[in-house]
Amino acid sequence: MRKRKLIWALGITASLLLLVGYNGQTKKVHNPNLLSIAHRGASSFAPENTRAAFQKGVELQADYLECDVHVSKDGELVIMHDEKVDRTTNGSGLISEYTLEELKNLDVGSYHSDMFAGETIMTMNELLEEFYDHVGLLIELKNPASYPGVEEKVVSILNEYEDLGSIIIQSFDVESMRKIHNLLPSLEVAVLIRPAESLLSSRKLDDLTSFASYINFNVSFLNKRMVDNIHRRDSKVLVWSKKDKKLVAKAQKYGVDGIISDFSKWPDNEQIFLVQE
């Protein structure tokens, strides 16, 4: 009898994992007290930066959805990671060479699996309209220097929203984030630190934390002392990693405030993180 129950339990677990298309590991974490941020949406489960990945992130109870923003030929803010469409669509070339209408004709789901065929690119406006009320948004500006005026566009869109408490804008481009902060001081901004630049001097930290609410690192290029130095200056730290299986353990050890990765909390609200292999 016990054996039959065990077989049933194994069968149900396997079916669930097949259903979500998950092929990684599960790891149980007790009281991590960390923000859970779904990287490019719940991109372990669905094509990155798509409505499907964002919906999955909400379903898995992520605290924030992370996404990437570029600008189309006709000046629309669109959600995609690479500056070219080649890797994640059936098209080729730069996003900036496509109008929004042309981008909307691309398939952004099939590269992941046939299940997501016909998925279309989202604009930042559409992302906000659909998800603002449900989850925090961590919006990364990709290569803002290539898109003059992108900061003003972002601020103009966000000015339509009264409460910006659930939105963070981030970028590797420090001056772009300083500009966003100056244009809209009530909006939290984050500076992403490139691995090669992870050793930040006290002077640099003073400068960054004077306007950035978060300083975000690849977890492999961080230590507890740096986190303490940032906390002492009243800013927070998020870490990301695409592959590091010790991400959660390191995040806890360093005392950071949240994790950006391709995993989210499991729906039963237990602190279980799914780590993609």
Provide the mask over 9-48, with x wherever binding to Ca ion is found by CB under 5 A and - wherever it is not: ----------------------------------------
CA pair distance 44, 23, nearest whole angstrom: 9
Q: Name 12's Cβ contacts closer than 8 Å, sequence gap at least 6.
A: none
Examine the residue annotation and report whether 81 is marked as an active-site residue of this protein: yes
Helix, strand, coil percentages (3-state) for the chain, rounded to 5, are 35, 20, 45
Partner in contact with 76, chosen from Ca ion, ligand G3P, none, beta carbon below 5 to 8 Å by kind: none
Q: Is the Cβ–Cβ distance between 26 and 270 less than 8 Å? A: no
Closer to ligand G3P by Cβ: residue 197 or 270? 197
- 140 part of the interface to Ca ion, by CB under 5 A: yes
Q: Does 54 bind ligand G3P (CB under 6 A)?
A: no
182, with CB counted inside 10 A (0-12, 13-18, 19+), is: exposed
Site track 90-109 with ligand G3P (rule: CB under 6 A), x = hit = --------------------
What minimum distance in Å lies between the beta carbon of 127 and Ca ion?
A: 14
Active-site residue identified among 39, 70, 112, 181: 39
> How many whole angstroms from its chain centre is CA 269?
20
The residue from 158, 174, 256, 260 that contacts ligand G3P (CB under 6 A) is 260
Shortest spacing between CB 260 and ligand G3P, in angstroms = 4
Under the binding rule (CB under 6 A), the answer on residue 66 touching ligand G3P is yes
In 3D space, the residue among 29, 42, 62 whose CA is nearest the CA of residue 248 turns out to be: 29
- Pick one of ligand G3P, Ca ion, none as the site partner of residue 222 (Cβ within 5 to 8 A by kind): none
Distance CA 277, CA 262 (A): 10
Are the C-beta atoms of residues 113 and 21 closer than 8 Å to each other? Answer: yes
Query: Site map for Ca ion, 81-120, x if CB under 5 A?
Result: ----------------------------------------
Residue of 52, 56, 64, 68 interacting with ligand G3P (CB under 6 A) = 68
Query: Exactly one of 54, 147, 240, 254 binds ligand G3P (CB under 6 A); which one?
Result: 240
Spatial CA neighbour of 253 closest among 232, 276, 228: 228
Does residue 140 interact with ligand G3P by CB under 6 A?
yes
Q: Measured at CB, which residue is nearest to ligand G3P?
A: 240
- Closest distance between ligand G3P and the C-beta of residue 2, in Å? 45
| From 48, 63, 68, 262, residue interacting with Ca ion (rule: CB under 5 A) | 68
Terminal CA-CA length for the chain: 35
Catalytic residue check, 39? yes
117: amino acid identity, one letter: A
Could you give the count of Cα atoms lying within 13 Å of 99 in the half-sphere of its Cβ? 3
What distance separates the 2 farthest-apart alpha carbons in the chain?
Answer: 68
Least Cα distance to 240 among 220, 212, 210, 267 occurs for: 220
For residue 166, how many other CB atoms are within 10 A of its CB? 17
Residues with catalytic function: 39, 81
Binding residues (CB under 6 A) for ligand G3P: these are 39, 66, 68, 81, 140, 192, 240, 260
Catalog residues that contact Ca ion under the rule CB under 5 A.
68, 140
